[in-house]
Amino acid sequence: MSHSPISAPHFVTPAGPTEPGLRPDAPVNRPLLMVAMLSAAALSALSGMLSASMVYLGGKDLADQNVRNAVDADPAAVGLPADTRSADLQRMSPTAWDDVVTHWQDTMSARAAFAVALAVLVLVCALLARNASLWSRATLSVAVLLGGAFPHVLVLRDAPPTGLYVAGLAAPVLAVVTVVLCWLPPVGRYAKARSRS
């Protein structure tokens, strides 16, 4: 009668995520914060495109209203005496007023074109950030801050009409929301889980 040697039991540890509650073969679900981050980035870009389209559609009338608002709100800020009104300036020299409005329309159009280009960049970066990799979240953070803040802060500073003000304000606010959501822990955990699967 032969005796076989007794050996210790052998356990195989499954490969995969080591986080508690995660099965190695389970699909990785996109967290709600990730969806909110991508939505905020897209809305920031769309807000930028909306404000740019308002500038293009408003044309010279929008530029005229913007110049009037700036002069009437604070004439000293635009280099005029404190008691100056836009109607007085337009009556005194209609040609000079028209030149100022035309120049301002050109400035607004250039800013709008820049805002559209940055909005497209934000949308591309948001598409790249779907898997939440570190490099894509960093790129999205930089792009959304540039696209959401830079041209729109200039617009907000220039006494725009109400509709343009609201559209211009939404872009930087949503940009900040996007950056905050990019770096919350659940998004980082999602990126790690995606890289392991």
The 3-state DSSP class for residue 145 equals helix
Q: List, for residues 168-195, the tens digit of each pLDDT value.
A: 899 999 999 999 999 999 999 999 988 8
Q: Please report where in the chains the tokens 């995660």 appear, as a residue.
A: 22
pLDDT value for 30: 87
Residue 34, pLDDT above cutoff 90:
yes
Whether the CA torsion 118, 119, 125, 128 is positive or negative: it is negative
Residue 16, pLDDT above cutoff 50:
no
pLDDT value for 152: 84
The mean pLDDT of 136-164, rounded to a whole number, is 88
Closest C-alpha to 41, from 145, 112, 138: 145
- Cα–Cα distance between 195 and 189 in angstroms, integer? 10
Cα 197 to chain centroid distance, Å, stands at: 30
- Cα–Cα distance between 35 and 55 in angstroms, integer? 30
Residue 7, pLDDT above cutoff 70:
no
Q: 153 or 106: whose pLDDT is higher?
A: 106
pLDDT bin (cut points 50, 70, 90) of residue 57 is very high
pTM > 0.75: yes
Tokens read off for 5: 């040697």
pLDDT value for 74: 87
Q: What are the sequence ranges of the domains in the chain?
A: 32-196
Q: List, for residues 119-138, the tens digit of each pLDDT value.
A: 999 999 999 999 899 999 99
